[in-house]
Structure 1
């Protein structure tokens, strides 16, 4: 009897590795929106991010809390003005930001690194510069967004004060003039602080270092200037009190608005810049710092390789 033969299993035919699959890629023939659209989009995204919009709930807490802290004293002032039937505003529009400079500084220290340091840390800047956006578009969008965020933070309480003054039936012309002067002051402050904060934050990809550096740049010069001003005032060097304000960002704004916006100076004894020429110097320094901040940011981002 012959042994049964077993059939050998035939392996399944493998797919041809050289086969080309059509996965449906098609060329884009829609509208090309270009650099201006990319710049506007980056501005809007950065501005929203400065208040935590479009980010996690945790990211919204601090900016929204600081915004509320900025507006709360204005609401209290309005309530007191209305219930006491005051004939004059309790707080000058041009002085409000000076009183709450610590809140403004904390907001800038928390949001400037968030705006630029994260892009450096995660090396996403080269992706922006691929196309169609250029370095100048990135810098302009970030600068404008940070300045706009600061303007919203500082102008909102002024609007509250203005509406409250109208409800209290104070003189409309005087209040409108004061409100306009306050808006000019905080606009200049927003540009100056945004430039300084972004330059400092762009020096390091570490957000914590950026926060500490921004706080130091804003507080140390102010503390030193006010201390030396107090000493000069005590020795009767009143002109020196006015000139010393050139060495701190917030005192620079004080000097400009004292000379050209009719504001009362917060310097010791109320001694602001000693002359109109000194006020011109203050203004030139402020504008120079804003332009210098922009130039430094451009230089910084020229060194970010693709």
Structure 2
């Protein structure tokens, strides 16, 4: 029988390689999160929904590109594409966000993460970046397919290609705004519970339940209430920012009018608030 206080060498080899620190952990969390968003490294069942959503969105882009190449008419701009796909993005976020953070809560691995040289801010940045990248790819890749269809079948030469690039880049920037907003809101909600079903229901509720409020405000006999109605819903808020920046109506038909700067300010404040609340949430976990 061993004597008390004696440490036995049972043959485990010590790690003597380079220690890469926080940046490497953060990068690993980002890559793992992005892979998990599309079901890589998981069962076939986990791949069904994200790739079904991706397939539908890509199919829409192919149809739009084919129709434009045949008729020469623009049926859907790059900005309008993101607006039209908003419902699919909501359900995608509702499935993916709990995969990224709720599973960590349920499995109790946060204490293990924070026992390493990893700060709460590193964890939040990695998860938000992974979620943002997943949503942006979901929008950006089909937009690029639309670009290919428009640029190389229009017959307008190099000048036409450059004009199309000038339309695509704002579309990608708009998609990034969608991605950051959806990532911040959905991850914040998912971080409150370890039950993925509850997290998914909460995310859908926040995005869907606010839409009737917009309808009520938009029906009031007041131009001010009509113009500010989109502020009540994250989806219409982003659509309003798109209208303000592009100077044209979005597919959501928010009708921001002269209130565009207010939409921009609220969008910035909403994103910042979600990120700060996420940081506070995980600083509390790290302190436990």
TM over 0.5: yes
Counterpart of 2:168?
179
Per the alignment, residue 85 of structure 2 pairs with: 100
Bigger radius of gyration among the two: 1
SS of corresponding position for 2:210: helix
Give the match for residue 35 of structure 1: 22
Aligned residue in 2 for 1:112: 97
1:203 lines up with 2:192 in the alignment: yes
Distance 2:260 2:91 in 1: 28
| Separation in structure 1 between the aligned mates of residue 119 and residue 191 of structure 2, nearest angstrom | 17
- 2:255 corresponds in structure 1 to 272
TM-aligned CA deviation for residue 82 of structure 1:
2.0
- Residues of 2 paired with 1:204 and 1:151: CA distance? 25
- Structure 2 portions without partners, runs of 5+: none
Matches within 5 A, 1:1-306: 22-84=9-71, 86=72, 88-169=73-154, 171-229=160-218, 231-232=219-220, 235=221, 237-266=222-251, 270=253, 272-275=255-258, 278-304=259-285, 306=288
Shift of 1:98: 1.1
Post-superposition Cα deviations, 1:64-111, rounded to whole Å, max 9, x if no partner, equal 111111111111111222233x1x321111111111211000000001
RMSD: 2.0
Structure 1 residues 177 and 264: CA distance shift in structure 2, 3 A: farther
Segments of 5+ residues of structure 1 without an aligned counterpart are: 1-15
Q: Report what 1:4 is aligned to.
A: none
CA shift at 1:271, angstroms? 6.2
Give per-residue Cα distances to partners, 1:118-168, cap 9 Å, x unaligned. Answer: 110111111110012111111110011101111001111111111110132
Deviations 1:168-213 (A, max 9, x none): 2163343222211111111011001100000111111110000100
Q: 1:300 Cα shift?
A: 1.2
CA deviation after TM superposition for structure 1 residue 20, in Å: 8.5
**SS across alignment from 2:269:** helix
Flag the 1:77–1:20 CA change in 2: closer, same or farther, 3 A. Answer: closer
1:204 aligns to what SS in structure 2? coil
Cα distance in structure 2, aligned partners of 1:107 and 1:148: 13
Counterparts of 1:110 and 1:226, CA distance in 2: 27
Q: 1:289 to 1:105 in 2, by over 3 A?
A: same
- Count, aligned residues: 281
CA 29–81 in structure 1, closer or farther in 2 if over 3 Å, else same: same
